[in-house]
Amino acid sequence: MEDLKRTQSTEDGITTQGHGETEKRRLCHRVTASPHHRVVLHPLGSGVWALDSVRLSVKIDSFKYPDGTIALSDVNLKIKKGEFVGILGSNGSGKTTLLKMMDGLMKDFEGNVHLDGVDVRKLYPKEIYKKVGLVFQNPDDQLFAPTVFEDVAFGPINMGFAEKEIANRVNNALKDVEMEGYAKKSIHNLSFGQKKRICIAGLLAMGHEILLLDEPTAGLDPMGEYKMMNLLTGLNKERGVTIVMATHSVDLVPLFLHRLYMLSKGSIVRGGTPEEVFTAPEDMSNVKLRLPEIAELIYRLKHEDNIPFEKIPLTIGEARREIVKTLKAQGKGGGRI
Ligand SMILES: Nc1ncnc2c1ncn2[C@@H]1O[C@H](COP(=O)(O)OP(=O)(O)O)[C@@H](O)[C@H]1O
Ligand SMILES: [Mg+2]
């Protein structure tokens, strides 16, 4: 990941105000009473995770908020086991609304959302929440206990585990999010990025197999963004956690995500790999987004300065190879790629 090494800054304290007490109370009621164990995918012989079964299938014909705002329409997508998928869209495009529907929090829509083949509207909340967990954009809407341990332990306690199992789950979850040693720390004194990690730990301690994350890198500094994305990549690759994240961070996407759905004005306008989704700057500005900066530069050099690049790279590493290749082809390069 040579692109990452270039970033020098550190993840640190942006604090936020405002506590979504309603959301917190609702989350408190979400925990399941039945014991649940972390499920890890079995690797295929080749070491590649099985990606065959569809976990979430979403078909939303239309959803309107009570004030008449049509937030989603014609949304069709499928999330397979073990995938790391992005929902990419500008502010107000419907990302948060869509995640809430995938988590069964909003049911008043036309269409259907299936979790493991069953309509979420026919499932009891605890049947949804033992598999799917939503991490809110603002950690202060999710965290509520005085200390890290108490917050992460809240789910396992409500699931009825014995004290030792609770401690194990909390410790493992804190290790997973690289926050060992913070158990006794006051939530209040954590940095914004650390709070986001504790939110994720709280869901991992309950053993969620599918994590839905609403703008997990929002509010983090550049190194914090990469650390968060590396953490999520690790959970996905090593723990087999299926991840869906809403984001508008176009520069991060090609480095980490398998597949993308692009949302604009409540509808999916494009889906596919980052290479398939990031095409021309005009297509992106039409949906109030842009290409990754490096892609924009190469695109302009190709189309405005007629430099014959074969493809538009999406990362610094790819761009470096493409530039050296093009220079060499023109007899101007000497270095090794
Ligand atoms: N509670 C609400 N009542 C009315 N309109 C809402 C509500 N929440 C969101 N919206 C509207 O729904 C649309 C999608 O919002 P949202 O899902 O929050 O988008 P995003 O997360 O992509 O920024 C926006 O037009 C927003 O103003
Ligand atoms: Mg949002």
Atom from ligand 1 closest to the CA of residue 248? 22
* 337, pLDDT greater than 80: no
CB contact set of 327 (below 8 Å; sequence gap of 6+): 333
Nearest partner of 252 among 213, 206, 282, 286, judged by Cα = 213
Q: Is the CB of 265 under 6 A from ligand 1?
A: no
Q: Is the CB of 89 under 6 A from ligand 1?
A: yes
pLDDT confidence band for 161 (50 / 70 / 90):
very high
Residue-wise pLDDT for 88-110, tens only, equals 999 999 999 999 999 999 999 99
Task: Give the DSSP per-residue string, 211-274.
Answer: EEEESTTTT--HHHHHHHHHHHHHHHHHH--EEEEEE--TTTHHHH-SEEEEEETTEEEEEE-H
Ligand (nearest to CA of 267): 1
Q: Are strands 70-80 and 54-64 parallel, antiparallel or unpaired?
A: antiparallel
Ligand (nearest to CA of 141): 2
- Tell me which H or E stretch contains 80: strand 70-80
* 59, pLDDT greater than 80: yes
Distance, first Cα to last Cα, the chain? 15
Q: Interior CA angle at 165 toward 163 and 169, to 5°?
A: 120
Which residue's alpha carbon is nearest to atom 12 within ligand 1? 71
Per-residue confidence (pLDDT) for residue 117, from 0 to 100: 94
pLDDT confidence band for 51 (50 / 70 / 90):
very low
Nearest-angstrom CA–CA distance, 292 and 233:
20
Nearest-angstrom CA–CA distance, 137 and 140:
9
Mean local confidence (pLDDT), 222-250:
92
- Site to substitute for ligand 1 among 73, 96, 106, most atoms within 8 A of C-beta: 96
* 148, pLDDT greater than 80: yes
Better-scored residue on pLDDT, 16 or 308:
308
Q: Is the CB of 245 under 6 A from ligand 1?
A: no
| 333 in Cβ contact with 324 (< 8 Å) | yes
What tokens does 251 get? 């520069």
| 208 in Cβ contact with 241 (< 8 Å) | yes
Residue-wise pLDDT for 119-133, tens only, equals 999 999 888 988 999
How many Å lie between the centroid of ligand 1 and the Cα of residue 94?
Answer: 6
| 278 in Cβ contact with 311 (< 8 Å) | no
What are the residues whose beta carbon lies below 5 Å from ligand 2 (ion)?
Answer: 95-96
Domains of the chain by start residue, with CATH: 4-281 (3.40.50.300), 292-337 (no CATH)
* 49, pLDDT greater than 80: no
Which residue's alpha carbon is nearest to atom 7 within ligand 1? 65
Lowest-confidence range among 13-22, 43-52, 222-231? 13-22
Q: Is the CB of 155 under 6 A from ligand 1?
A: no
Q: Is the CB of 96 under 6 A from ligand 1?
A: yes
Q: Rounded mean pLDDT of the chain?
A: 83
Which residue's alpha carbon is nearest to atom 11 within ligand 1? 71
Q: Is the CB of 65 under 6 A from ligand 1?
A: yes
Q: Is the CB of 69 under 6 A from ligand 1?
A: yes
Residue identified by tokens 């049947």 is 127
Q: Is the CB of 273 under 6 A from ligand 1?
A: no
Better-scored residue on pLDDT, 251 or 20:
251
Per-residue confidence (pLDDT) for residue 52, from 0 to 100: 63
Q: Is the CB of 333 under 6 A from ligand 1?
A: no
How many Å lie between the centroid of ligand 1 and the Cα of residue 80?
Answer: 26
How many Å lie between the centroid of ligand 2 and the Cα of residue 98?
Answer: 9
How many Å lie between the centroid of ligand 1 and the Cα of residue 199?
Answer: 22
